[in-house]
Amino acid sequence: MIVINLDVMLAKRKMTLTELSNAVGITMANLSILKTGKARAVRFSTLTALCQVLNCQPGDLLAYQETNEDTEKGS
C-alpha cells in the first residue's frame, strides 16, 4: 500500500492545509483526501505542485508500506 505523508511534510514546513491549498491551487477537500490516504490516484501535476510548494521530493511525500493484502496478492 502507498502511504502519503502529507501531514508529516506540513508539520516539517510549519504549514497548514489551508495555506497549502492556497499556494498549490488544490481544494481543501482534495488535499484532505490525499492527507487521509483515501485517494485512489495522484496526478503528476499535483505531485509536482506539492513538491514545489513544500520544497521536497516525491519520495518525501510517498512511501510503500506492506500490508497483509499486499502479501496475499503476491502469492
Above 70 in pLDDT, residue 33?
A: yes
pLDDT at 22: 97
Whose CA is closest to 39, among 62, 57, 22? 62
- List, in order of start, the domains of the chain with CATH numbers: 2-66 (1.10.260.40)
Average pLDDT over residues 59-75: 81
pTM: 0.85
Above 90 in pLDDT, residue 75?
A: no
Whose CA is closest to 2, among 64, 73, 68? 64
Average pLDDT over residues 3-13: 95
